[in-house]
Amino acid sequence: MVTAAPKRKWLSLLVFILALTAINIASQYFYARIDFTKEQRFTLTPVSRELLQNAGKPIIITVFLEGELPAAFQRLRNATKDLLGDYKAYAGVEMKVVFTDPISGLSGAERDTVVNNLYQLGIEPTTLNIKNEDGFAQKVVFPMAIVEAGDHHIPVKLLQNLDAAGSYEQNINHSIQNLEYVFTAAIQKVLSGDRPRIGFTEGNGELSDLYLSDALKSLSERYEAGRVNLDLIDNDGLDKLKLLIIAKPQKQFTEAQKYKLNYFIMNGGSVVWCIDQTSADLDSMSRSGEQLALNRTLNLDDMLFMYGARVNYNLIADANCAEIPLSMGGQDAQIQMAPWVYYPLLMPDTANNIVKNIDGVRSEFASTVDTIGVRGITKKILLQSSAFNKVHPTPKLLSLQMVSEQPDPKSYASVPHTVGVLLEGVFPSVFLNRAVPAGISGSYSVPAQSKPNKMIVIGDGDVFKNQVSSRDGSAFPLGFDRYTQRNYGNKALLLNIADFLTNDTDLISLRNKEVKIRLLDKAKIRAERLNWQLVNVAGPLLMLILFATFQHYYRKHKYAR
């Protein structure tokens, strides 16, 4: 005869098995996870989820970061696997994810062929020096992926900011933080098949290709970026552009050039104005020791005024500034770094997503920017000076002897001044009720006001200029100071602006996603290594012995009664 207790026991076991089976079946159709991290590291943003759920084509993602890898690259690979696992779970279409080492087991000739084929697709290898028992050995890895959908594909660089002063650990941490952005942006582009065109104007003394080298290279990874001559381009060419960047013009714009700019803006094209209103230049000053900074006549003031902004004819001297190299006299002349108040570090307004979470932006001889009340135009501050500054009207005599002058805190106490501003809304036409200027041929349809549009005005022409090596003429990464070995936020500013002004979806929120990588303190590990080894080895054994002793005396006490 079976008693009630065993019946309840078997019934409980049966219910548990059925519940477990039901949960396993349900998990195949429903996806859910709980993210306990403070910054929601393992949670996809709504932008990514919406894009994946509404994808209309099957997606294939091939990641070439596989095989035997150093610890830092293993973290990057594992973070990529975790992220793409979430992508597959949310995708509304079939998504295939493949991890492979493309050169594993290949001989020399076969290996070179594969590397060349991958290079043609935009997949570039990285050579690492790995420490082993015999010293150092070189290993070729591919920290890249390729995203395919339909007839389109785009390479994805997993390892970000592998430039200049950044260590591998810093680059890996930054790369993990940026993974969702690079994959979501790539998927969006292969699904739409669209690579927006971005043009840097030329013909009016703007920065040369050499000084815009890294800006063009960085943008070319996701856009079609090149130079645009306003004298040569026609309305059809302007219609194909999404964004124009005017970087440090030094010659006056003609009315025909302004007419084309106005046509571009009225028809929905965005413009970034990087304007130097003065002729101050450190190279010219270095040759003579001083320079009279004069006002430039660019013939753009009326346009900017109509659109809602004014770049003033002045110079900001800021105690929060970058350093410049100075040659100390003598037979054995040495280069020393000295703060230069006319190279202010611009502080991002953290309330705006375009500049949120980016570092200070290095500028050279910047001017203040005022906003003008224009109906239908909203203004948002992007970049400001610090609160310790002076604003000098121009003309202004500048001398390198000013470097030795210590800024007086009392005289520099001020309020932050605006240097970069975002304008949004419906812009009025500058050429409304005006005759078409000479030099315009072809059919230009210019409405009285623009479509809803956006533009950015920055009172510094050098904000997107990279430094150039004096040895071989090669370009340094944008935002990197070769003298102080410091990275500034100039490149992040450029990429954020490009995303904001060319994309309908809010990819900026992905680029600004912050993931804190909490690494172990290596110095502390070396100093306390033996202590923690003893804790990890002896600790569990001691706990087991204590538990066994407690259990023995507890049972003895319990059953002795």
**Domain boundaries in the chain?**
30-189, 198-502, 523-554
102: Cβ contacts below 8 Å, ≥ 6 apart:
64, 114, 118, 123, 142
Q: Helix (H, G, I), strand (E, B), or coil: what is residue 230?
A: coil
More confident residue, 482 or 506: 482
- The residue-averaged pLDDT of 175-186 equals 85
Question: For residue 397, what pLDDT band results from cuts at 50, 70 and 90?
Answer: very high
pLDDT tier at 557, thresholds 50, 70, 90: confident
Rounded CA Rg of the chain: 30
- The one-character DSSP state at 403 is G
> pTM above the 0.85 mark?
no
SS3 assignment, position 40 = coil
| CATH code assigned to 198-502 | 3.40.50
CB-based contacts of 353: which residues, under 8 Å, 6+ apart? 496, 500, 506, 508, 509, 512
List the beta strands (DSSP E) in 32-187: 59-63, 95-99, 126-132, 135-141, 144-149, 152-157
- Judged against a pLDDT cut of 50, whether residue 163 lies above it is answered with no
Whether 311 and 369 have beta carbons less than 8 Å apart is answered as yes
Three-class DSSP category at 417: coil
* Average of per-residue pLDDT across 338-356: 88
pLDDT tens, residue by residue, 85-100 = 889 888 888 999 999 9
Provide the pLDDT for residue 89: 86
pLDDT tens, 279-327?
998 888 887 888 899 999 999 999 999 999 999 999 999 999 999 888 7
